[in-house]
Structure 1
Amino acid sequence: MKIKATLDRIPGGMMVVPLLLAATLNTFAPNLLRIGNFTEALFVNGASTLIALFLLCAGAQINLKGAGVSLAKGATLLSVKWLIGASVGLLAYLMAGPNGLFLGIAPIAIIAAMTNSNGGLYMAIVGQYGKEDDKAAYSLLALNDGPFLTMVALSIFGVMGFVEGLFSIVSFISVLLPIVVGMILGNLDNELRDFLGKGSDMLIPFFAFALGMGINFQAIIQGGIGGVALGVATVILTGMGGYLAFKAFNWNPIVGAAEGSTAGNAVATPAAIAAANASFASVADIATVQVAASTVTTAILLPIFIAFLVKRLEKKGRLPSSA
C-alpha cells in the first residue's frame, strides 16, 4: 500500500489526515484507545511531549549563519507576515463576541495561521521563480515555525489589556526552551542538525493524531468554514503584503507572495498556547481545526494565486529573471 505517497499528494496530508482520523475515532468511539499504559500515553495523551520534541527538532533547522541580502529578505518577510497576522488578530480580539470568536474564528487561530508559513511551499515557489539569496532567506523564516511569534503577539496584547492572562516569563520560557535547545545543537553541529531534521517530519502525524483525540465532529463543523475563510484571508493579506513589500525594495515580488500560506506546524500552536496559558483552553480545539483547514486551503490556493500574479507581471513585461 502506498500510504505515504497518498498522504503526500494531499495538501497538508501528514498533518490533516491523522488529525481528522483521530477526531472521527474520538467522536464515535472515544474510549477505544483510552485503555491506559503506552497506548493511551502515545495516541491520546502524547501531544504535549511530541510537540515539545518536534519544536526541538524544528529549532535545530534554524541556521544563524545567514548574511547579507538573504537576511534582509528573510527579515522583511518575517516582519510583514507577523505584523499582518498580529494586526488582524488584534482586530479580532477587539471585535470578538461573548464566545471569544470573531465571525466564528478564534483570534489565536488567526494569529497562528497568518504568522506561520509553509516552508516547503515557499521553497517550491522560490525554486521556480527566485534566486539563491531568496532560498537562503528561509534560514531566517524558520523562526516563524511553531508558537513563538504567536506568543509574542499575545504577550504584547496582554500588556495592552486586550487579552486576559498575560504569559508569565516562566511559561514563556517553558515553551520556548525546546526551540532554543534545538537551535543551539543544530548550529554547533551540522550533522546533528541533519539528524534532528529527520525527526521533525516523522513526529508530525503522531502529534496530529494525539491532537485529534481531543476534537470531535462538532468542533470540525464549527471550525471548517471559518478555517477555509482564514486560509483565503491568509493568502490574500499576507501574500499581497509580501508582494508589495518586495516590490517596494525592488526585489522579486513573486518571492514575497510565496509566504502567503499557513504551515502544517501551525496546527500545533493553539495547543502549545493553551498549555502555556489555560485562559486559551476553551478555544484551543476549534482553533486547531481552523488552522488545519487554513493549512489545506492555502496549500491549494497559494499556487493559483502565484500563477495569477506571474501572468499579470508577464503581460506587463515585468517578471524578474530567476537567473
Structure 2
Amino acid sequence: MKIKATLERIPGGMMVVPLLLAAILNTVAPDLLRIGNFTQALFVDGAGTLIALFLLCTGAQINLKTVGVSLGKGATLLTVKWVVGAAFGLLAYFLAGENGLWLGLAPIAIIAAMTNSNGGLYIAIVGQYGNKTDRAAYSLLALNDGPFFTMVALSIFGAMGFVDGLFSLTSFIAVLLPIAVGMVLGNLDEDMRSFLDQGSSMLIPFFAFALGMGIDFGKIIEGGLSGVLLGVATTLITGTAGYYAFKAFKWNPIAGAAEGSTAGNAVATPAAIAAANASFASVADLATVQVAASTVTTAVLLPIFVGFLVKRLERKGVQLPEDYQEINEKVTA
C-alpha cells in the first residue's frame, strides 16, 4: 500500500487526514483509545509532548542569522491577528442589538475566537508548507494564548478596566525553551542539526492525530449556526489577512494563512472575561459554546482553506516551501 504517497497527494494530507480521523473517532467513540499507558500517552495525551519535540527539532535548524526574520514573522502574525479580531469585535459592539448580540454572536466570542490561534495547527501547516523561520515564529505567537489580548482589546474599547495576571511570563518561557534548546544544539554542532532535522516532518501526523482527539464535532451542533459562522469568519478573514500580510513582505503567504484558527484554550476566555467584569456574565455561556464551535470549525476548515491556497500558488508556478526558502535566504544573507 502506498499510504505515504496517497497522503502527500492530498493538500496538507499528512496533517489533515490523521486529524480528521482522530476527530471522528473522538466524536463517535471517545473512550476507545483512552485506555491508559502507552496507547493513551501517544494517541490521546501526546500532542503537547510531540509538538514540544517538533519545536526542538525545528529550533536546531535555525541559524542565528535568521532569528530576526523569525521574530519579524511572529510579530507580524501576532499584530495582524489581533488587529483584525479586535476590529471585528468593535464592529460587533457598534452593531449589536438590545440583547447584546450581532448576527447571533456575542462580541466577546468574536474577539476571543479571532485574536487567539491554534498553535498545533499552525505548526502542522508550516511543518509541511513552511521553512525553519516560519516554524520558529511560533515562539512569539504563544503570546496570544488565553484571554490576555482579548482583555487588552476590551480595555481599549473602554468596555472594562485592564485586569492584571492574565499573561504568564512562565508559560511564555515554557513555550520558548524547547526552541531555544534546539537552536543552541544546532548552532554548536552541525551534526546535531542534521540529526534533529529528521524529526521535523516525521512528527507531524502523530501530533496531528493527538490534536484530533481533542476535537468533538458535537460542539458544532451545540454552538449552532452562529458558532459555525464565527469559525468560518475566523478562518477566511484572519487567514486571508495573514496571507496578504506575508505576501506583502515577500514571505511565504501560506505561513500567514496558517494563523486563521481558534485555539481550544480560547473556550475558557469568555468565562475569564465575565469573572473580571460582571457585565459580560449574561452572554458568557453563549459566547463559550460559540467559541467552542469556532474551534472545531476552524480545525476542519483551515487545512482545506490552506490546501486551496497552495493549489492556487502552484498554478502560478510557486513551489512550497522551496521558492520562499530562497527569498528568506536572500533576506538574511
> Structure 2 matches for 1:106-255, cutoff 5 A?
106-158=106-158, 163=159, 166-168=160-162, 172-176=163-167, 179-183=168-172, 223-255=223-255
Aligned counterparts of 1:71 and 1:257: Cα–Cα separation in 2: 17
Q: 1:276: Cα distance to partner?
A: 1.2
Moved over 2 A (4+): 5-8, 11-14, 180-187, 219-223, 318-323
Aligned counterparts of 2:320 and 2:124: Cα–Cα separation in 1: 17
Q: Is the 8 A contact 2:220 2:297 kept in 1?
A: no
State the Cα deviation string for residues 218-257 of structure 1 (Å, max 9, x = none): x997842111000000111000000000000000111110
Aligned counterparts of 2:110 and 2:296: Cα–Cα separation in 1: 15
Aligned counterparts of 2:134 and 2:174: Cα–Cα separation in 1: 25
Q: Is the 8 A contact 1:220 1:286 kept in 2?
A: no
> Structure 2 matches for 1:268-307, cutoff 5 A?
268-307=268-307
Q: Is the 8 A contact 1:175 1:272 kept in 2?
A: no
State the Cα deviation string for residues 248-294 of structure 1 (Å, max 9, x = none): 00001111101111111111111111111111111110000000000
Q: Is the 8 A contact 2:139 2:175 kept in 1?
A: no
Residue in structure 1 matched with residue 14 of structure 2 by the alignment: none
Aligned counterparts of 1:85 and 1:13: Cα–Cα separation in 2: 30
Residues 182/321 of structure 1: CA separation in 2 closer, same or farther (3 Å cut): closer
2:166 alignment partner AA: V
Q: 1:184: Cα distance to partner?
A: 5.9
* CA-atom RMSD in angstroms: 3.5
Q: Is the 8 A contact 1:147 1:269 kept in 2?
A: yes
The total of aligned residue pairs comes to: 241
Aligned counterparts of 1:76 and 1:90: Cα–Cα separation in 2: 21
Aligned counterparts of 1:7 and 1:321: Cα–Cα separation in 2: 24
Q: Is the 8 A contact 1:86 1:153 kept in 2?
A: yes
Query: What TM-score does the superposition give when structure 2 sets the normalisation length?
Result: 0.64
Matched, 1:10 2:23: yes
Aligned counterparts of 1:181 and 1:140: Cα–Cα separation in 2: 14
Residue in structure 2 matched with residue 197 of structure 1 by the alignment: none
Residue in structure 1 matched with residue 202 of structure 2 by the alignment: none
Residues 84/6 of structure 1: CA separation in 2 closer, same or farther (3 Å cut): closer
Q: Is the 8 A contact 2:142 2:172 kept in 1?
A: no
> Structure 2 matches for 1:58-137, cutoff 5 A?
67-137=67-137
Secondary structure of the corresponding residue to residue 261 of structure 2: coil
1:145 alignment partner AA: D
Q: 1:108: Cα distance to partner?
A: 0.4
Structure 1 residue runs of 5 or longer lacking an equivalent are: 19-57, 194-200, 202-207, 209-216
Q: 1:174: Cα distance to partner?
A: 3.5
Aligned counterparts of 1:277 and 1:12: Cα–Cα separation in 2: 38
> Structure 2 matches for 1:12-27, cutoff 5 A?
none
Residues 12/297 of structure 1: CA separation in 2 closer, same or farther (3 Å cut): farther
Q: Is the 8 A contact 2:220 2:293 kept in 1?
A: no
Identity %: 66
Residue in structure 2 matched with residue 198 of structure 1 by the alignment: none
Aligned counterparts of 2:301 and 2:267: Cα–Cα separation in 1: 18
Q: Is the 8 A contact 1:105 1:223 kept in 2?
A: no
2:73 alignment partner AA: K
Residues 318/221 of structure 1: CA separation in 2 closer, same or farther (3 Å cut): closer
Aligned counterparts of 2:221 and 2:312: Cα–Cα separation in 1: 37
Structure 2 residue runs of 5 or longer lacking an equivalent are: 1-17, 32-51, 182-206, 208-213, 326-333
> Structure 2 matches for 1:250-261, cutoff 5 A?
250-261=250-261
Q: Is the 8 A contact 1:11 1:300 kept in 2?
A: no
Aligned counterparts of 1:226 and 1:280: Cα–Cα separation in 2: 18
1:87 alignment partner AA: A
Aligned counterparts of 1:128 and 1:302: Cα–Cα separation in 2: 14
1:9 alignment partner AA: A
Aligned counterparts of 2:83 and 2:297: Cα–Cα separation in 1: 21
2:164 alignment partner AA: I
2:22 alignment partner AA: R
State the Cα deviation string for residues 111-160 of structure 1 (Å, max 9, x = none): 000011111111111011100010000000000110011001000001xx
